[in-house]
Amino acid sequence: MQRYENRRVLVTGAGSGIGRATVHRILAEGGRVFAVDVDETGLKETYAQAAAASAADRLTTALLDVSDEAAVRAGVAAATGTLGGLDVLVNAAGILRSEHTHKTTLDLFERIIAVNLTGTFLVIREALPALLDGDRPVVVNFSSTSASFAHPYMAAYAASKGGIQAMTHAIASEYSKQGLRAVCVAPGSIASGMTTGTGPGLPEDADMSLFAKLAPAIGQGFAGPETVAGVVAMLGSEDGAFITGTEIRIDGGTHF
């Protein structure tokens, strides 16, 4: 499928996990992508993989901290300038940290909100003028199953993702008459940079029995990030033309 031929796409969080998988999926479907992340090494790997797939000529990478207002303003300007406009924005950047709520410091809470919720808002705000001038514009935001279901030790993360979900509904309504669609994906039980390696870092005394209901109902465990990337690609294409102001849960039936 070449659903993204001549489409211009900005992807945040592109240095690993679902963001990286989304970059490769959109490139595979003919899109032009401006990919950003705070992780320079991760971005280089994303680019190297695109080069191996003979798609690097349609990919530009740049460092960007989505929680930094000035950096976002400059980064989005660079993206729209490089691409000659913007048709699709994918806000995949985010962090996941875990702690007992009664031990969560204000600094930690505010850092999670700053990256996940405020960062998503800043990128949307700066990208909206270009999107509204774009072709069939779409914003795809990243919520999480934690926004609607209990994930212990992740109150701050859940709050950030619930905010993204609510904000997406508001944006979808506000700009609907201007042709913009806004939609969320809500992944769960997905293997990514946030769930492995530098993932949630559960407290040492975490009660693992609280996670019993968080196992996927289908498959053999966590799915790969490409599982979500395929849904993101659909939402940003004409196949998702009648989907806006909602969220799509991608969790293998973890939450029936």
Say if 1 falls within a structural domain: no
At 171-221, the pLDDT tens digits run 999 999 999 999 999 998 888 765 554 456 899 999 999 987 777 877 667
End-to-end CA gap in the chain: 31
Cα–Cα dist 175/20, whole Å:
28
Say if 105 falls within a structural domain: yes
Catalytic, 47? Answer no
Q: What is the pLDDT of residue 198?
A: 46
Instruction: Scan for tokens 């790997």, then name that residue.
Output: 45
Best CA proximity match to 97, nearest among 116, 75, 72: 116
Say if 36 falls within a structural domain: yes
Say if 3 falls within a structural domain: no
- Is the CB of residue 31 less than 8 Å from the CB of residue 110? no
Range of the domain at 129: 8-250
Q: What is the pLDDT of residue 195?
A: 54
In whole angstroms, what separates CA 114 from the centre of its chain? Answer: 15
Say if 2 falls within a structural domain: no
Best CA proximity match to 219, nearest among 245, 184, 254: 254
The pLDDT profile of the chain, 256 residues, written as one tens digit per residue, is 799 999 999 999 999 999 999 999 999 999 999 999 999 999 999 999 999 999 999 999 999 999 999 999 999 999 999 999 999 999 999 999 999 999 999 999 999 999 999 999 999 999 999 999 999 999 999 999 999 998 999 999 999 999 999 999 999 999 999 999 999 999 988 887 655 544 568 999 999 999 877 778 776 678 888 999 999 999 999 999 999 999 999 998 888 7
Say if 255 falls within a structural domain: no
Q: Which of 4, 47, 153, 157 is catalytic?
A: 157
Q: Phi-psi bin for 189: left (phi > 0), alpha (psi -120 to 50), beta? A: left
Say if 256 falls within a structural domain: no
pTM: 0.94
Cα–Cα dist 202/23, whole Å:
29
Say if 125 falls within a structural domain: yes
Number of domains in the chain: 1
Q: Report the CATH number that the domain containing residue 230 is assigned in CATH.
A: 3.40.50.720
